[in-house]
Amino acid sequence: MRDVEKRACVPYKFLMAIRTREGGNKFNNMSASTTKMYNTLNWWNTTNLTTVCDGLAYSAQTGLVPSDSTGAGQRCEMAIGDQTYDQKIMGIMQISEEEQSKALKYTVKTIPGKIDRRVLFDNILIFGIISKNRAGKFPQPSCTNWPQETVMEVARIHASGSTGSCEYYYSQNGASGNYCKEIWDLYKSFK
């Protein structure tokens, strides 16, 4: 994340806030070998279903493992959110297939060749690049610190698109809250 902060000019604190909110505790205290595995292209084909699920290599909306992976079609978690249109959101920062495609012209400058949002570094880099683009019109005093307005607005766009709200409610599991405030509170907790 420190490397992405430098390459994409997006604060480490913001990356950590999103990672904490989206990835939960699944990526805390990873061993060097686990980190290396999750940073290897196609790791989701060289392991078991539990590891695929722990690595967030499944669609967050449907809970299903994609067809190009070990455990294809199996469910890692119960579905959440809108099931009418699966955005194929995956990985540590919860990047959609569309976001990965949009960021490709920028990511190839850092990672030539194949990039996939299931690879930890790739996912964080994609998120950093699209976040910097989303922050374009908001105050950005530096690559290491953004004001509350910018953090919350970029978080809102990540969570719900350019016209969406910070408020969320998932009828499938009853989860609700204010995503932007959650990210801002997490942002302030990191140094």
Express each pLDDT in 102-123 by its tens digit.
Answer: 898 888 888 888 899 999 999 9
Please report the sign of the dihedral spanned by the C-alpha atoms of residue 185, residue 187, residue 190, residue 191.
Answer: negative
- The whole-model pTM stands at 0.91
- Judged against a pLDDT cut of 70, whether residue 101 lies above it is answered with yes
**Residue found under tokens 């067809």:** 67
CATH architecture classification, 2-189 = Orthogonal Bundle (1.10)
| Dihedral pair phi/psi, residue 126, rounded to 5° | -55, -50
Question: What is the residue-averaged pLDDT of the chain?
Answer: 91
Residue 98 neighbours by CB distance under 10 Å: 12
- Judged against a pLDDT cut of 90, whether residue 75 lies above it is answered with yes
CA distance 109 to 53: 30
Q: Are 17 and 187 in contact (CB under 8 A)?
A: yes
Residue ranges in the chain assigned as alpha helix (H): 2-8, 12-23, 32-38, 49-54, 97-110, 120-134, 148-160, 179-189
CA distance 114 to 58: 19
In the chain, domain spans: 2-189
Nearest-5° Cα angle at 52, 120 to 104: 40
Q: Are 15 and 124 in contact (CB under 8 A)?
A: yes
DSSP three-state, residue 120: helix
Express each pLDDT in 127-160 by its tens digit.
Answer: 999 999 999 878 877 899 999 999 999 999 999 8
- The packing angle between helices 120-134 and 148-160, to 10°, is 120
Express each pLDDT in 29-59 by its tens digit.
Answer: 889 999 999 999 999 999 999 999 999 999 9
Taking Cα atoms as reference points, which of 100, 128, 124, 135 lies closest to residue 114?
Answer: 100
- Compute CA 14 distance to the chain's CA centroid, rounded to the nearest angstrom: 12
pLDDT, position 38: 96
DSSP three-state, residue 126: helix
pLDDT, position 83: 65
pLDDT, position 112: 83
